[in-house]
Structure 1
Amino acid sequence: MTAFSGRTQTMSLVAFSAVATVTLLLCVMTGPDHDDLDEFYTGYGSLSPLRNGLAIAGDYISAATVLGTGGVIALCGYDGLVLALSTALSLMLLMFLLAEPLRNAGRFTMGDALARRLPGRCVRVTACVVTIAALLPLMLVQLAGAGQLMAFILGFSDASLKTACVVALGALMIAYAAIGGMKGTALIQILKIVTLVGSGAVVAVLILRRFDWDPGALFSAAARQSGAGPAFLHSGLEFGTSGRSRLDMIASELTVVLGGACLPHITMRMYTASSARQVRRSMSWAVSIVALFVLVITVVGVGATALLGRGVIAGADPQGNTAYLLGSRAAFGADVSMPETLLFTLVTTAIFLTLLASVAGMILACANSLAHDVFAARVREMPPRREMALARVSALAIGVPTILLATLVQHHSLQPLVTLSFCLGASALAPALVYGLFWRRYTRGGLLATLIGGTLSVLLLMPGTKLVSGSPLAAFPHADFVYFPFTTTGIVTIPAGFLFGWLGTLASGRAKAEQQRRQYEAVEGWILAGAVRRES
């Protein structure tokens, strides 16, 4: 059941080629026609709330979410469900707390939002460095996983072919970002999320039909096939049941909730809304779509365990990254008709699109920050044509090293890289945004302390976690240099990020804090209410 038929592989290859060609043409057709920064960076805010919401959801649901979360649900049951719910909760946090102030304070990048009331080139450069540091690991995961996934679907095992897949997909993603800009990548995200949720919903319905539309029967069968019995439906399979294990679980979910909402490729979508009302409506659509996908991935993940058993899933991939595909294939039964083959091809195409769209959005966020916050900020008035050229060159400058690094890490466990990105989002970017948008006395020294201190604390502790060494599924399974016995760094680095910001502001002195308070109060109503977008 883990091997796909020749017909399925052929149809998938044809579909992948067609999708790559069509999406690239769409990027060319919808890309900026003129040397206009607003068109390249935001698409003129021309997307309707529904389309912008679809694009936000598309950016938010990465291949790591689809494959990784689906695997945790299939192998660990209850713990995976909590992870999936945390994913949805993170976007709700963005909607209720940060979306409108971000849209009002920012223009193109994270650096814009932070430098609006705390100006300075050092702020923009630091924001750019943290943006790249937070997104580079996720890009590596998507690209490195692409070769493995293509090999699994198409049935080849040659290492050079896997590397060729990584290079080819990476080049395609660079082209999406450089040619399409915000509007072009948004179109790819919309196509991706509609295909992913639509095909997944059909598969979920087929799985429920196999169990006579009884979710209780589905979960009971999954518990029997999990090898853990009733424990599959209770907390503890992923982290354990000790006090430290429960603390580790809480820290991991908190990292997902805070980190996912603040990653720059998600927050940049807030700037594409033309008004505060539009961003509220866009986020409502995005949260609804992500909630629907969480329901879909839960049914498919649990269904994979119920229909195939833990042994088959873990045998195909020890971390369960192929569980979503295996569950989709198992939903059709042993004999697959032509319509069912077409539907499964749609599922594999949706995963392929997810890989393409996710990295394209991240490359665009990094390239925009590099061009706008580092290079364009050096001169008072850079011509739009030159800044757009810099953004496109920056996409190449970000993408090529990412491809090379992805070819080097593709044979290692990629989970530490996913965790690293979310830890940086939760420990550096989240405190900076919360303080920067809501704390009147927050100073530039406090902001730099938050970004630098939060980032360095994560980079210091992450190599010592259990994901890097000390276990068979770690990145270095034959080594053991664990000095921080948790899965994520969040239990220490999230409070540390907020503490660094407070101490940095305190160290700036009372006079500086009072000056920042007066400056903030002058624009507070505009940042929080945002009646009019201010250009810069």
Structure 2
Amino acid sequence: MSLVAFSTVATLTLLLCVMTGPDRDDLDEFYTGYGSLSPLRNGLAIAGDYISAATVLGTGGVVALCGYDGLVLALSTTLSLMLLMFLLAEPLRNAGRFTMGDALARRLPGRAVRIAACVVTIAALLPLMLVQLAGTGQLMAFVLGFSNESLKTGCVVGLGALMISYAAIGGMKGTALIQILKIVMLFGSGGVIAVLILHRFDWDPGALFTAAAQHSGAGPAFLHSGLQFGGGRYPRLDMIASELTVVLGGACLPHVTMRMYTASSARQVRRSMSWAVSIVALFVLVIAVIGFGATALLGRPAVAAADPQGNTAYLLGSRAAFGADVSTAETFLFTLVTTAIFLTMLASVAGMILACANSLAHDVFAARVREMPARREMALARLSALAVGAPTILLATLVQHHSLQPLVTFSFCVGASALAPALVYGLFWRRYTRSGLMATLLGGSLTVLLLMPGTNLVSGSPIAAFPQADFNWFPFTTTGIVSIPAGFLFGWLGTVASGRRKAEEQRRQYEAVEGWILAGAVRRGR
């Protein structure tokens, strides 16, 4: 049944992309879908892009294994989107047109700025794409019960090709419809499972938490802070750094921020974000209930035995919600849950490929030519989807048997340490210079790249990417404790080093567009 459901979803979503994709050579249609989505549908699409399979499976796993710490992580996910809503969404929509490079080059024009924005966009999203693609093989193995490595690799290659097709054919509007379908299926199926779990505990969340603590092997500590980071040298500091990385990094990843450009007005982007935050907040509660339910019904040892990092906890909790006797309707519901996860992987990677391809085509290739024809730029965007997707598929087949948590963390660290400082400074600091922007993007990214190999997730523990090795010289789970301040510091130093004359010149340039960025007085290119 699951195989039939997967095949049906893949076919229908590809048809959706073909039917809704651009039917003429119009850049606004391909990159933004003309901003034709209503606030509700755009909010659903934003929530769909924001909630990746790594969020569903990874956060659900942390909740199941670490209890309170996982719940804090889940709430940080919602807080991140709220940060985007209240601080960055409207200025981003006003400053940008198609890509993050547009938003940054709005006040600091230059080809170097666009190229740097493209490089950091790919650096932030490529690791996440690898995780999603590699996860498809594991999901198929878990659901369908096969263990043949060649078959897993074939799934990765085939599904990767499908995701490239989504991005190249559907453009922004096509991928938006897939994101909407994904979030509706994910929220609907997950909501039913959460209701079933609460019903098992007589609608008493306290009883659910108590049962989870009893079967966690950690006792009352399961419901208190410290279980996730207790093995580190600085657990409290590590937790703060990790949550800050999620809050800043998740809000600024390019496949999420590109959805700001699909709103037709500042009012529309505010309404879209209100819907997105509400949907994500509710779904985070669903993840928390299912994660706690997996531990309460199966026990923490069973969850850890299936996957040491708990990535199958969401599926295990969904299956355990039915009890011992499983009816045909419950089998159908579980198939719906697994299909929703499958669609989540497809949609997430498609959105990330589209963000990378748009940046590569628009910021790197089209920026070289003063008046590039729309047909040629759209062809470049579609070829860029292939240029980004093909190496991603190859790399995913090579890393699928390793722990991929460091890749997820790397993406969020780049978002928090390079993109967040660049956007905050670029949108709000009058003296910010081009040198400061380049220092922020490159300095923040390089700091993450240098520190990440020394973290707890890469070596020095049984769940690390290299469990047999120990070169753990940076005793934290993320690089955020150093790299986030470094990103802001690099931006300040680069601006100061530019000199007063350059800073004054950039200040005057910013004042010329300040009303456009902050109030949306004019929308360039519309």
Smaller-chain TM-score range?
A: over 0.9
Which deviations, in whole Å up to 9, do the C-alpha atoms of 1:221-272 show, x marking residues without a partner?
0000001010000011110187711000000000000000000000000000
Note the aligned Cα RMSD (angstroms). 0.8
Match of 2:214 in 1: 224
| Percent identity (aligned) | 88
Measured at CA, do residues 207 and 117 of structure 1 come closer, stay the same or move farther in structure 2, by a change above 3 Å? same
Match of 1:189 in 2: 179
**Matched residues, number:** 526
Match of 1:77 in 2: 67
Code of the residue aligned with 1:311 in structure 2: it is: P
Code of the residue aligned with 1:192 in structure 2: it is: K
Residue 146 in structure 1 maps to residue 127 in structure 2:
no
Shift of 1:531: 3.4
Shift of 1:534: 1.5
Match of 2:234 in 1: 244
Contact 1:225–1:310 under 8 Å retained in 2: yes
Residue 515 in structure 1 maps to residue 505 in structure 2:
yes
Q: Which runs of 5+ in 1 are unaligned?
A: 1-10
Which deviations, in whole Å up to 9, do the C-alpha atoms of 1:443-464 show, x marking residues without a partner?
0000000001001000000011
Shift of 1:532: 3.5
**Helix, strand or coil at the partner of 1:320:** coil
Please give the alpha-carbon distance, in whole angstroms, between the structure 2 residues aligned to 1:89 and 1:527.
24
Please give the alpha-carbon distance, in whole angstroms, between the structure 2 residues aligned to 1:478 and 1:68.
23
Code of the residue aligned with 2:402 in structure 1: it is: H
Residue 95 in structure 1 maps to residue 70 in structure 2:
no
Contact 2:65–2:310 under 8 Å retained in 1: yes
Please give the alpha-carbon distance, in whole angstroms, between the structure 1 residues aligned to 2:158 and 2:231.
44
Residue 457 in structure 1 maps to residue 450 in structure 2:
no
**Helix, strand or coil at the partner of 1:267:** helix
Please give the alpha-carbon distance, in whole angstroms, between the structure 2 residues aligned to 1:495 and 1:276.
31
More divergent stretch after superposition (88-97 vs 144-153): 144-153
Which deviations, in whole Å up to 9, do the C-alpha atoms of 1:501-520 show, x marking residues without a partner?
00000011101111111111
Match of 2:398 in 1: 408
Please give the alpha-carbon distance, in whole angstroms, between the structure 1 residues aligned to 2:233 and 2:483.
20
Residue 265 in structure 1 maps to residue 255 in structure 2:
yes
Match of 1:466 in 2: 456
Please give the alpha-carbon distance, in whole angstroms, between the structure 1 residues aligned to 2:83 and 2:432.
22
2:57 to 67, 73, 76: 67
Shift of 1:383: 0.3
Measured at CA, do residues 173 and 242 of structure 1 come closer, stay the same or move farther in structure 2, by a change above 3 Å? closer
Please give the alpha-carbon distance, in whole angstroms, between the structure 1 residues aligned to 2:258 and 2:236.
34
Match of 1:531 in 2: 521
Which deviations, in whole Å up to 9, do the C-alpha atoms of 1:423-461 show, x marking residues without a partner?
000000000000000000000000000001001000000
Shift of 1:16: 0.3
Match of 2:376 in 1: 386
Match of 1:23 in 2: 13
Match of 2:168 in 1: 178
**Helix, strand or coil at the partner of 1:483:** coil
Residue 285 in structure 1 maps to residue 275 in structure 2:
yes
Residue 433 in structure 1 maps to residue 438 in structure 2:
no
1:506 to 489, 496, 499: 496
Match of 1:3 in 2: none
Code of the residue aligned with 1:110 in structure 2: it is: M
Match of 1:344 in 2: 334
Match of 1:47 in 2: 37
Please give the alpha-carbon distance, in whole angstroms, between the structure 2 residues aligned to 1:418 and 1:243.
22
Shift of 1:533: 1.8
Match of 2:204 in 1: 214
Contact 2:47–2:280 under 8 Å retained in 1: yes
Contact 2:44–2:276 under 8 Å retained in 1: yes
Measured at CA, do residues 242 and 482 of structure 1 come closer, stay the same or move farther in structure 2, by a change above 3 Å? closer
Measured at CA, do residues 247 and 355 of structure 1 come closer, stay the same or move farther in structure 2, by a change above 3 Å? same
**Helix, strand or coil at the partner of 1:475:** coil
Please give the alpha-carbon distance, in whole angstroms, between the structure 2 residues aligned to 1:353 and 1:334.
28
Contact 2:232–2:476 under 8 Å retained in 1: no
Match of 2:434 in 1: 444
2:3 to 13, 17, 24: 13
Please give the alpha-carbon distance, in whole angstroms, between the structure 2 residues aligned to 1:115 and 1:424.
19
**Helix, strand or coil at the partner of 2:234:** helix
Please give the alpha-carbon distance, in whole angstroms, between the structure 1 residues aligned to 2:300 and 2:234.
26
Code of the residue aligned with 1:420 in structure 2: it is: F
Which deviations, in whole Å up to 9, do the C-alpha atoms of 1:128-182 show, x marking residues without a partner?
0000000000000000111011100110011111111111110000000000000
Code of the residue aligned with 1:239 in structure 2: it is: F
Shift of 1:525: 1.4
Measured at CA, do residues 477 and 243 of structure 1 come closer, stay the same or move farther in structure 2, by a change above 3 Å? closer
Contact 1:276–1:531 under 8 Å retained in 2: no
1:133 to 112, 123, 133: 123
Please give the alpha-carbon distance, in whole angstroms, between the structure 2 residues aligned to 1:156 and 1:284.
42
Match of 2:95 in 1: 105
Contact 2:98–2:258 under 8 Å retained in 1: yes
Contact 1:441–1:513 under 8 Å retained in 2: yes
Q: Which consecutive aligned stretches of 4+ in structure 1 deviate over 4 angstroms post-superposition?
A: none
Contact 1:275–1:533 under 8 Å retained in 2: no
Code of the residue aligned with 1:354 in structure 2: it is: T
1:424 to 414, 418, 421: 414
Please give the alpha-carbon distance, in whole angstroms, between the structure 2 residues aligned to 1:60 and 1:532.
28
Q: Which runs of 5+ in 2 are unaligned?
A: none
Residue 35 in structure 1 maps to residue 58 in structure 2:
no
Shift of 1:523: 1.4
2:104 to 76, 90, 114: 114
**Helix, strand or coil at the partner of 1:532:** coil
Please give the alpha-carbon distance, in whole angstroms, between the structure 1 residues aligned to 2:355 and 2:467.
33
Please give the alpha-carbon distance, in whole angstroms, between the structure 1 residues aligned to 2:94 and 2:184.
29
Contact 1:59–1:361 under 8 Å retained in 2: yes
Contact 1:55–1:190 under 8 Å retained in 2: yes
Contact 2:233–2:475 under 8 Å retained in 1: no
Match of 2:311 in 1: 321
Residue 306 in structure 1 maps to residue 296 in structure 2:
yes
Please give the alpha-carbon distance, in whole angstroms, between the structure 1 residues aligned to 2:522 and 2:265.
8
Please give the alpha-carbon distance, in whole angstroms, between the structure 2 residues aligned to 1:375 and 1:321.
39
